[in-house]
Structure 1
Amino acid sequence: APHGPSQQAVISQALAAAGAPPGALTGLELHGTGTPLGDPIELNAALTVLCPRLGRGRDGHDPGPCLGLHAVKTLVGHVEPAAGGAGLHSTLMRIRSLVLPPLLGLGVLNPLMTDSFSAASRGLHAAKQPGPQACCAPGTLSGTSAFAFQGTNAHALVRSAQGCQGQSPGTRP
C-alpha cells in the first residue's frame, strides 16, 4: 500500500534541495493511479507538506486557486515504468503552455478526499476542462510525483525559465 509519510518526505526533500519553501509550488503533477486508497494517501501527503501554500495570502486576502493539480494518467493511462517520465513531460508542457489540462473522469470525488478538498478548497484547482494555469508568475515552480509499486518514491521540481506575465494561456513564447 502507498505510504504517506514516505511521500511527504520525498516532497520535503525535493523542496529543501531546491531551496524552495512549500508555498512556492503553483502546480503539482500527481502520480494519480486512480485507486480508491492510493490517491487519497497521495493527496493528503502532498497537502501535509504544501499546506502553507493554501488558504490566505500574505496580505490576508484569498489568493484564489493557486495549486493546480493534474495527473497525466487520466489522459494516457498508466504507462508503468514510464509513468514518472510521462508525469515530468506533462509538467513541462503545462509550464510551457500555461494551460492546466483536465482531470478526465473527475466526476464524483472519492469520499476519502472530500475533507482534503474542503479544508483547502480556496487553494486547489483541478480542471474538468482545459483552462489557464491557476497561478503564473516569473519562476513558476511545479512538482511531479512518481511512486513505484516496490516502494521507490520520487519527486522532481521544475522551474519555468521565463515569466508568464503578459502571455495569454495556450500561446508559446
Structure 2
Amino acid sequence: MQIVGILFAVLFTIVGTGALYLHNAQQQNANNLDVDGMEVMGIITDKNVKTRYNSKRRKTENFGYEVSFSFIPHEQKERQGKEDVSFETFKTIKPGQKVPVHYWPEDPDIATIFNESYSDGAAFLKWMSWGMFSTSGFIAFLLFLGRLRVFG
C-alpha cells in the first residue's frame, strides 16, 4: 500500500512542478507586456463558440468562447492571435470591430486584446501548483505516520 502512496506523491509533485513552470512562463509574459508592451489597433476577425460532444447526453455542449484577431506590429508583418473570453465579452464583440492590441515588441506573438489574459492564466497555474505540492506533502506525511504506526 505504501508504494501506491509514494507513486501518488511523486505524480502530484511532477504535476505541481509542471504547473509551476507554466506559471512562471505565463507570469513572465504578463510582466513583459506590463513593462515593455506596446499598443496598436487591431481588428476582430472571427469569434467562435468552443463545443464538445457529451456522449452521456448525446449532444454537444458549449465550454468556452474564443475571439480571433489580427494586428500589425510597428514596422512588421500582420500577426494573428486568439484569446478566450467570457460570454459577456463574446456577446459584445463583432467581427470587423477595431480593438486595441497589447503586444510585446521582442515577440509579437505574445499579444492580448484584454490585458488580464496572461495574468489570469498565471494565477490559475500558481494555485494549481501549490495545490499539487500540498497534496504531495500530505500524502508523504500520511506515509510517514504509517511508518510510525500511528494508525495502528
Regarding TM over 0.5, the answer is no
Q: More strand per residue: 1 or 2?
A: 2
> TM-score normalized by structure 2?
0.25
> TM-score normalized by structure 1?
0.23
Rg larger in 1 or in 2?
A: 2
* More RCO (CA 8 Å, sep 6+): 2
Q: More helix per residue: 1 or 2?
A: 2
